[in-house]
Structure 1
Amino acid sequence: MKKIAIALAVSCAFISSSALAWGNDGHRAVGAIADKLLKGTAAQKKIQALLLPGETLESIANWADCVKGTYCGPQSPEMIAYVAANPKHSEYHYTDVPYQLNKYHDHAVGTADEDIVQTLKECIAVLQGKDGAAVNPHKFTPRQALILLVHLTGDIHQPLHVGAAFVGKDGKFVVPTKQSEIDGINIFDARGGNNFLLDDGKLTQMSDGVIPPGEPKPVKEGVPAALTKPFHSYWDTTVVDYAMRRLSTKTPEQFAQAVIDSKPNVNVNTGLVSTWPYQWADDALVVSKEAYKDVTTGAVTEKVSKSGEKYSTWSLEVPQNYPVPSSQIAKEQLTKGGYHLAALLKTILS
C-alpha cells in the first residue's frame, strides 16, 4: 500500500494525479448532489452544526485532498493539526484489490487496516456517536469524520481507487494471491494506474467528434505540454470533464442539478450502514473491470525517481471509442457517489 507515497516520489505529474481523485469538479459534484438531496431534512441541520458558516458538502468535498499540499492555498491550522495527527492520511483514500476479483475482503491482498473501506467504517462509527480505540483508532472528531466521509465516498466510487492492476514481467495483467508476490521482479504494482501512460495526442484525437468541445485550457508560458497522461489522471479528471461536457454543464452545481433532474435509478444499499463501504467497494470492482476492458500494456520504461528509487512505467493502449464509455461510467459513478452519500447521512443523522 505505497501507491501515493511512491507516486509522490516519482514526479510532479504523479503528484497532481494521485492527489486529486475525481479532481476538484468531480468531488464537488458528489457533494453538490448530496447537498440538494438533503435540503430541508433533519440530517441537513445536523450537518450544518458540524460545518462552519458558509460551508456546504460541496465546498468541503476536496478538503481531504487539499491537506496533501498547498495547491489549494495555504494550510489552515485545522489542516496542519489533522496532518500532524494522521501521518498516513494519504493512505485513507484507496485500496488496491486486483481489479479481476469480485469482492473486497478484510486482510486480503491489496487491502490494509487504514485503507478507504476501513476509514469509511471509522467515519461512520464516529458520526453514529461511537468512540474508543476499537472503532475510532485515529481519534477523528465528528467534524473530521464528516469531512472525510464526504470525500472518501467520492473516492470509493472512482474505479481505480479500488480496482488495481498488477503487471507480470511479460507485461500482461496478473492477479497476485499474496502481498509478497508483488515483488517488483515477477509482479509489479502499477500504483493505481499512475505508472500506465496514455498518449495525450491520441486521446485528443479519440475525443474529437465524440465529446463536445470544452473551454480552452490556459497555456502556461515556459511549461511544455505533456506528451503522456497517467491512466489514473485520466480517470481522475479527464472523464469528469468529458461527462460534464456531454451534459452541457460547466460547474459541479449544474452537473448535480442535471443529474437529479434526470431522475437516475441508483441502487439502494441494504443492511447495516457499516457494511455499505464494502458494498461500494464491490461495486467499484465491477466498474473497474469495465475501465480495464480491452486495455493493453505496451513498451515498458525503467526509470529512477529523484529519491533514487527504481520504478517502471508502461505505455497503455485503450479502445478507439474509449472516451464515450469511460465518460458514461464517470457520470454514473459520480451520481452513485452523491446519492449514496446523501442516503448514508440521512440514515446516520436523522
Structure 2
Amino acid sequence: MKKLASVLALSCAFASVDALAWGHEGHRVVGSIAEKLIKGSNAEKQVQALLLPGETLESITNWADGAKGGVGYPAPTPEQAAYTAVNPKHEEYHYVNIPFQKAHYHDHEVGTSEHDIVKTLRQAIAVLQGKTDPDVNPHNFTRRQALLIVAHMVGDIHQPLHVGAAFLSKDGKFVVPNSRAEVDAVNIYESRGGNSLLLNNDKLSMLSKALIPGEDAPLPEGAKKWTTRPFHSYWDSTVVNYAMRRISTTTPHEFAQKVLGDPDKFRNCEICPVLPVNTTTDPTYWPYEWANDSLAVSKRAYDDVTPGQITPQVNKKGETYYTFSLEMGEKYPVPSSAIAKTQLIKGGYNLAAVLKAIWP
C-alpha cells in the first residue's frame, strides 16, 4: 500500500502538550454519553452531590488534565493545585505502557506500575464505594477527587495508545521487551506512548481532505503550525475530529445525541456487538477488562503504520531522547476514525455502567 511519509522534528514541549487522551472534545463526548445514560438514576443523584455549582458530569471530564496545566488550559485552580501537590506522580495515572503485541494486562509486567491507569481507576472506584482504608486508598483520594478521576480516566483507558505502547529496535522495528531492563535506549527504545513516532502534519492534512468530510479545525490564534504530529496526538485529537465529522456533528453534545438519539437504530448499528460486557459484578476489577479491550484495539491502531529512521533529539534540559519517522497507509484515517468512534461510545457506556454499579 502506498504510504504517507513522515519528517522528523519534535519539541519536548509539543510532546508534553499532546499527552492528553482524547483531547478536550473527546473526553466531553464520553461524559456527555454517560450523563444521558444515567439520567433519572440514583447514580445521577450521587454524582450531582459531589459536583460544584455549574459543573456537570460532562464538564468535569477534563479536570484531571486541567490539573496538569499547560497550553490549552487555564492555570490550575486551588483545588487542582492541592491535588497535584500530594500526588506528585499524577501525570502517570493516565496511562499504562503495555507492549501492544501483548494479549492481556498483568500486574508487575513491562509497562505497568503501582500508579498506572488500571491501579488508579481501581482505587478511585473503591473510594466511591466507601472503601477508604490506607491499603485500598494509598493516595488518600477524597470522594470528590475519586469522581473527578473516574470521570476522566474511564475515557483515557479507552484511548488505545494509553494502554498499548510501541517499543522499537534501533533499526525501526516494533519489538516486545520481556523486562524493563531491556528498554535501554540502546537496543530497545520506548515510544513514550507514541509521542516519539512522528507523522508529517501537512501530508496528513492533505490525505484527510480526500477521505474525511468537512475541513480541519483552524489553528487557535497565535498557535504555532507544526511540521510533524506525534502519533499519540493523532489518536488524542485528530481521530476525534474525524469521527465527529464523519457523522456530521460538531460538538460533544451533538455526538452523544446522534449515537443515542434513536435507540432502535443504535441497537442495530455496527458498534453494538462490540460494546464490552463486564464479566464480574465487582466494578473494581473492570479496569482490567477495559485495559484488555483497549490493548486488543491498539493492535488495530498500529496496523498499517511503519516506523522509519531513528533521530536523536535534545530537550530543553539538555537530555537526549529519540524519535522515529512514521509512515501511514493512505486509507488509515478511515479505519482509525471508525475505531475512535467505537472507543468513545464504549467509554461513555462504561462510565455510566461503573457509576450505576457504584450507586445502584
Per-residue deviation, residues 76-124 of structure 1 (Å, max 9, x unmatched):
1111110111011000000010000000000011100000000000011
- Equivalent runs, 1:176-255 vs 2, <5 Å: 176-214=177-215, 216-218=217-219, 220=221, 224-255=224-255
Q: Normalization by structure 1: what TM-score?
A: 0.94
The aligned counterpart of 2:73 is: 72
Q: What do you get for the CA RMSD once the two structures are aligned?
A: 1.4
Matches of 1:11 and 1:169, distance apart in 2: 20
1:81 maps onto 2:108 in alignment: no
Matches of 1:289 and 1:11, distance apart in 2: 26
Contact 1:206 1:322 in 2 (8 A): no
* 1:25 positional shift: 0.2
> For structure 2, which runs of at least 5 residues remain unmatched after alignment?
1-9
Matches of 2:197 and 2:276, distance apart in 1: 31
Aligned residue-pair number: 340
Contact 1:21 1:158 in 2 (8 A): yes
The percentage of aligned residue pairs carrying the same residue is 56
* 1:213 positional shift: 1.3
- Equivalent runs, 1:35-74 vs 2, <5 Å: 35-70=35-70, 71-74=72-75
The aligned counterpart of 2:5 is: none
1:285 maps onto 2:286 in alignment: no
**Aligned pair partner of 1:329 in 339, 343, 350:** 339
Q: 1:330 is aligned with what amino acid?
A: A
Q: 2:116 is aligned with what amino acid?
A: D
Following TM superposition, where does structure 1 have runs of at least 4 consecutive aligned residues deviating by more than 6 angstroms? none
- Equivalent runs, 1:137-156 vs 2, <5 Å: 137-156=138-157
Per-residue deviation, residues 165-187 of structure 1 (Å, max 9, x unmatched):
00012210000000110000010
Q: Which moved more, 1:172-181 or 1:295-304?
A: 295-304
* 1:74 positional shift: 2.6
1:345 maps onto 2:355 in alignment: yes
Q: 1:250 is aligned with what amino acid?
A: T
Q: Normalization by structure 2: what TM-score?
A: 0.92
* 1:267 positional shift: 2.3
1:269 maps onto 2:278 in alignment: yes
Q: What SS does the corresponding residue of 1:257 show, helix, strand or coil? A: helix
Q: What SS does the corresponding residue of 1:316 show, helix, strand or coil? A: strand
Contact 1:95 1:163 in 2 (8 A): yes
* 1:215 positional shift: 6.0
- Equivalent runs, 1:97-108 vs 2, <5 Å: 97-108=98-109
The aligned counterpart of 1:3 is: none
Higher RCO structure, 1 or 2 (CA under 8 Å, sep 6+): 2
The aligned counterpart of 2:327 is: 317
Q: 2:144 is aligned with what amino acid?
A: R
Matches of 1:284 and 1:297, distance apart in 2: 21
> For structure 1, which runs of at least 5 residues remain unmatched after alignment?
1-8
